[in-house]
Structure 1
């Protein structure tokens, strides 16, 4: 880069993004698997599952953060936020977690695209987060 005629930062960034994009399908499959574990946790509704829910949501945030997943990242981050607050206050509310899991599944099935549907889902999650 420092040599005359070297690569520009924009070119390096574009090449890095293209190399990362090759792994998108595998990463989204991992997100789907993690989401399946979250759905299982919701079905069990164990009273001590709060840290597990946070860990699963955090894993989704970690994977989604490498790609342009817009609403998926936002929904998973919202779940991290509400689960952390529920753990701290010891006031667990499984329906809030279930709604987040369903929203995540719908956003993932929709290709993580930003649009009217994902906007409505994120607005609903925001209202849940404000109530918690």
Structure 2
């Protein structure tokens, strides 16, 4: 019987992390926060524009559920970057609702309109959000849950 041989593999990542220099996690977080803050104005404009497009879709009622889903996912993405949890939850509820509607081959503009109005309310009241907004989002999810996923 031969003796086992142990071969130590060198990974480039471990070499890089062991090398001096670089930055601390704290410094990296500070830089990321600074970069996000610099994009804040553009992001707020983009978020407002997405909500306006959703409102226009609700008035026209001429687009498919895919378009509503895509626009609500934009709201979700931008709100998530800036840690706006309540707005994220409301947008996620709209994404889920439209996904269930398109899977079922249906449209329910009244339910979508309620979601879009809630997005506008949450967005407008951004700085003064209180615990009652969680109840609004809970109501949105109750509405979404009424649409079965199959």
Instruction: Give the ranges of 4+ consecutive aligned residues of structure 1 lying more than 3 Å apart after TM superposition.
Output: 1-6
From the superposition, tell whether residues 11 and 2 of structure 1 become closer, same or farther in structure 2 (CA, over 3 Å): farther
1:84 correspondence with 2:102? no
Deviations 1:44-84 (A, max 9, x none): 112x5211111111111122221111111111111111101
In structure 2, stretches of 5+ residues that fail to align are 1-16
1:116 correspondence with 2:131? yes
Structure 2 match to 1:100: 115
Deviations 1:88-129 (A, max 9, x none): 001211111001101100111112665223212111111111
Structure 2 distance, partners of 1:116, 1:65, is 19
Structure number with the bigger relative contact order (C-alpha 8 A, sep ≥ 6) is 1
Q: Is the 8 A contact 1:34 1:56 kept in 2?
A: yes
1:129 correspondence with 2:139? no
Structure 2 match to 1:28: 44
1:52 correspondence with 2:67? yes
Q: Is the 8 A contact 1:107 1:113 kept in 2?
A: no
Q: TM-score scaled to structure 1, two decimals?
A: 0.88
Whose radius of gyration is greater, 1 or 2? Answer: 2
Q: Paired residues, what number?
A: 131
From the superposition, tell whether residues 105 and 61 of structure 1 become closer, same or farther in structure 2 (CA, over 3 Å): same
Q: TM-score scaled to structure 2, two decimals?
A: 0.78
Structure 2 distance, partners of 1:45, 1:19, is 38
In structure 1, stretches of 5+ residues that fail to align are none
Identify which range, 106-115 or 13-22, moves more after superposition.
Answer: 106-115
- SS of corresponding position for 1:23: helix
Structure 2 match to 1:12: 28
Structure 1 distance, partners of 2:127, 2:118, is 11
